[in-house]
Amino acid sequence: MIEPARLRRDIQGVASRLALRGFTLDVARFEALDTRRRDLQAETERLRNERRTTSRRIGAAKAAGEDIAPLVAAVGGLGDRLSAAARDFDSVRAELDEFSRSLPNVPDASVPPGRDESDNLELRRWREPADFNFTPKDHVDLAPSLLDLEAAAKLSGARFSVLRGPLARLHRALVQFMVDTHVQDHGYEEVYVPYIVDRAALLGTGQLPKFEDDLFAVRGERDQFLIPTAEVPVTNLVRERILAASELPLRFVAHTPCFRSEAGNYGKDTRGMFRQHQFEKVELVQVVAAGDSWPALEELTGHAETILRKLDLPYRAVALCAGDLGFAAAKTIDLEVWLPAERRYREISSCSNFLDFQARRMMARCRSPESGRPEYVHTLNGSGLAVGRTLIAIMENYQDGDGAIHVPDALRAYMGGVTRLDAAA
């Protein structure tokens, strides 16, 4: 959420910053709502004050044995006027709240301008893509016996996978390797969290109220959803908390499945397991003091990059342009892995600094050691990494042209001695 005082102070400035990301802020609507809000709030509070003062006087008069009838008569229509004003105030406030919660975060000044993916700014590359002396296959053609998309389609429809034998194991090995690296080398605390969350959690991280169509709702009497990312349950661990400064930074790593309806992506990445309704991800989440989030973004991105480097996968880092930025992010650095069959880099991790945007929505604060007052924390997260996509990258980059896929050295310990997968049918 954008700071309400900032909206009131500089709505035009915010509007022009949001325009960079292609968002049109309805300035007139905000100003009209806020004017109404101010008037109704003043009126409501004035009436409440009057009621309180009079009621206390009645109490005092009664205790003194005086006649309270005239006083009671004096507050006559007050109740009705108050409830009318309060009702209007509540509805305007709800409208304003919905409006504010629908505004995306303001892009940081360092975010490159641009409309879409093609305007993203490449920051660095690591390892040039290898030259194959044969035509590399994509992951679908590589492992027909181990990646069974038809079986998955029979069970659940499009955009699901069934992995078999050593490929399923490689998938699991990746999870263990990633989590272990982040815990042992990078100092994260591993957490296990629910995969079903309520509306409040999704409001906190920004998936709601705007993106309900992207989620799978759970049927039943409860209003719950499958998590689209571990970001939701993990970041919400600090919701409505006032942390001690000494507790920060918090660094969590969680492995969870993620569920996305992919509504609006019907024609996109339909082949293979690149874009799925269900996939595994190892997620890094940091909660830091307000001044520390920019270095933390660099650090967290580096932690995700470490996984790619240990797996010896060619990748590049790009800064998302304003138009490509996610709803809650002030800045995002994507890591894109090289896929030889596609001959291009594809997203495998997205590392974002949300500044206090999520913290405001969640009321996640920390007590300032200087002032002793609560102030909003900053939150960050990034994939470390998307497991299914990493599996694709290994399959495609580690193929040998004879129908085999070699196991990266870093994963050997997790593969029980298996060093190559015979993936052909």
Partner RNA sequence: GGAGGGGUGGCUGAGCGGUCGAAAGCGCUGGUCUUGAAAACCAGAGGAGGAUCACCUCCCCAGGGUUCGAAUCCCUGCCCCUCCGCCA
41 binds RNA (CB under 7 A): yes
**Interface with RNA (CB under 7 A), residue from 6, 29, 52, 210:** 52
Taking the least distance from each CB to RNA, the nearer of 59 and 401 is: 59
45 binds RNA (CB under 7 A): yes
Mask: binding to RNA, 81-110, rule CB under 7 A, as x and -? ---------x--------------------
Taking the least distance from each CB to RNA, the nearer of 37 and 303 is: 37
**Interface with RNA (CB under 7 A), residue from 26, 36, 51, 172:** 51
153 binds RNA (CB under 7 A): no
**Nearest-approach distance from CB 209 to RNA, in angstroms:** 18
List the catalytic residue out of 347, 367, 412, 420: 347
The stretch near RNA (CB under 7 A) out of 58-66, 151-159, 291-299, 349-357 is 58-66
Taking the least distance from each CB to RNA, the nearer of 68 and 121 is: 68
Taking the least distance from each CB to RNA, the nearer of 75 and 424 is: 75
Written as one letter, the residue type at 262 is E
Taking the least distance from each CB to RNA, the nearer of 5 and 425 is: 5
The span from the CA of 101 to the CA of 104, in Å, is: 8
The candidate with the shortest Cα–Cα distance to 126, out of 325, 359, 383, 318, is 318
60 binds RNA (CB under 7 A): yes
288: β partners: 378
List the catalytic residue out of 17, 260, 360, 365: 260
What phi, psi does 278 have (nearest 5°)? -130, 125
Residues 350-379 that bind RNA (CB under 7 A): 363, 365, 373-374
Greatest Cα pair distance in the chain:
103
The span from the CA of 119 to the CA of 387, in Å, is: 27
Q: How many residues bind RNA (CB under 7 A)?
A: 33
144 binds RNA (CB under 7 A): no
Alpha-carbon distances of 272 from 222, 381, 420, rounded to whole Å:
34, 27, 21
Q: Are 32 and 11 in contact (CB under 8 A)?
A: no
**Nearest-approach distance from CB 33 to RNA, in angstroms:** 13
Q: Clarify whether 389 is annotated catalytic.
A: yes
**Interface with RNA (CB under 7 A), residue from 56, 164, 309, 344:** 56
- State the first-to-last Cα distance of the chain, in angstroms, to the nearest integer: 52
Task: For helices 165-184 and 293-310, give the axis angle rounded to 10 degrees.
Answer: 140
Q: Clarify whether 241 is annotated catalytic.
A: no
**Interface with RNA (CB under 7 A), residue from 75, 175, 191, 218:** 75
Q: Clarify whether 260 is annotated catalytic.
A: yes
Q: Which residues bind RNA (CB under 7 A)?
A: 4-5, 8, 38, 41-42, 44-46, 48-49, 51-56, 58-60, 62-63, 68, 72, 75, 78-79, 90, 242, 363, 365, 373-374
What is the set of active-site residues? 260, 275, 347, 350, 389
